[in-house]
């Protein structure tokens, strides 16, 4: 099965504007071991509602200096997310909030690592038997007389970059916080054995701003004429 990176088309052929943010964030972290202050980008659980958590007020854009406290907060949300996911500093939770207006394509990237879909387009895709497609409710105020229903597609972190495409001499990740910064290789290769076989859409676990779709998904999007997504094949090894 071939795999493709899905990206926004720039400039968009549609005229729209959307400013968004997720409701809650695992804080950024100042690590006591490597001394980096950092936050990942991309990891998101839009269907996970933290409002029942007594300490949900601590899940906001800020830096946690105490690694023990960071770990405690992360453990509070661990039972609410799929087993084994990274939960990096900066992971977001809850419905995407925001404001916007315009003429939206069937597929909308408010950021390159967030994918929204119009309700009728999701129905059409799901009717074809594609696997693992779930639309999560959003909280968007769209200033139009007949605004579309925009849902956020669930994108769980799965799959890894192949070591062959990574920079040579890459140091190991920090033993405490897992921090490891590198640029996405210009020719990314995916590690075949890490690729999930139970879904047609996911986020790359080792580079979470990368959204990956299967050949089946891409063919279906193109057959149904669902704008507006640019695809590039990601070889596997």
Query: Nearest distance from residue 34's CB to Zn ion, in Å?
Result: 3
- By C-alpha distance, which of 141, 139, 138 is closest to 152? 138
Q: Does 177 contact Zn ion by CB under 5 A?
A: yes
Q: Cβ neighbours of residue 33 under 8 Å, at least 6 residues apart?
A: 174, 175, 176, 177
Tell which one of 124, 174, 180, 231 touches Zn ion (CB under 5 A). Answer: 174
* Site stretch for Zn ion (CB under 5 A), options 33-41, 67-75, 124-132, 133-141: 33-41
- For the beta carbon of residue 175, count every other beta carbon within 10 angstroms: 9
Q: Does 88 contact Zn ion by CB under 5 A?
A: no
Secondary structure of residue 53 in the 3-state scheme: coil
- By C-alpha distance, which of 134, 140, 35, 50 is closest to 87? 50
Please work out the total of residues on this chain that contact Zn ion, with binding judged by CB under 5 A: 7
> Which residue pairs, CB below 8 angstroms and at least 24 apart, start in 220-225?
220/125, 220/128, 220/130, 221/107, 221/125, 224/121, 224/124, 224/125, 224/128
Q: Which is nearer to Zn ion, 32 or 84 (CB)?
A: 32
CA distance linking residue 53 with residue 51, whole number of Å: 5
Q: Which is nearer to Zn ion, 33 or 126 (CB)?
A: 33
Query: Nearest distance from residue 18's CB to Zn ion, in Å?
Result: 34
CA distance linking residue 106 with residue 233, whole number of Å: 21
Q: Does 15 contact Zn ion by CB under 5 A?
A: no
CA distance linking residue 191 with residue 204, whole number of Å: 11
Q: Does 153 contact Zn ion by CB under 5 A?
A: no
Q: Which is nearer to Zn ion, 33 or 103 (CB)?
A: 33
Q: Does 103 contact Zn ion by CB under 5 A?
A: no
* Site stretch for Zn ion (CB under 5 A), options 26-34, 51-59, 147-155, 225-233: 26-34
Tell which one of 1, 2, 19, 33 touches Zn ion (CB under 5 A). Answer: 33
Q: Does 31 contact Zn ion by CB under 5 A?
A: yes
Interface positions with Zn ion (CB under 5 A): 31, 33-34, 174, 176-177, 179
């Amino acid at each position: 099965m071939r795999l493709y990176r899905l990206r926004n088309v720039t400039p968009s052929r549609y005229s729209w504007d959307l400013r968004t943010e997720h409701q809650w964030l695992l804080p950024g972290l100042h690590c006591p071991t490597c001394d980096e202050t950092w936050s990942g980008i991309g990891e998101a659980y839009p269907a996970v509602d933290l409002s029942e958590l007594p300490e949900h007020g601590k899940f906001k854009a800020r830096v946690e200096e105490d690694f023990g406290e960071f770990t405690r907060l992360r453990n509070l949300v661990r039972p609410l997310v799929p087993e084994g996911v990274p939960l990096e500093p900066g992971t977001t939770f809850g419905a995407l909030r925001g404001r916007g207006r315009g003429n939206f394509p069937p597929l909308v990237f408010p950021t390159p690592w967030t994918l929204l879909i119009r309700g009728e387009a999701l129905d059409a895709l799901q009717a074809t038997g594609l696997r693992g497609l779930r639309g999560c409710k959003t909280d968007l105020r769209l200033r139009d007389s007949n605004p579309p229903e925009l849902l956020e597609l669930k994108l769980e972190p799965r799959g890894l970059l192949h070591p062959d495409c990574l920079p040579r001499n890459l140091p190991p990740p920090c033993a405490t916080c897992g921090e490891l910064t590198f640029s996405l290789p210009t020719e990314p290769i995916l590690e075949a054995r890490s690729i999930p076989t139970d879904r047609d859409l996911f986020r790359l676990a080792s580079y979470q701003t990368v959204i990956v779709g299967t050949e089946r998904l891409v063919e279906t999007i193109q057959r149904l004429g669902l704008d507006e997504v640019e695809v590039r094949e990601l070889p596997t090894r």
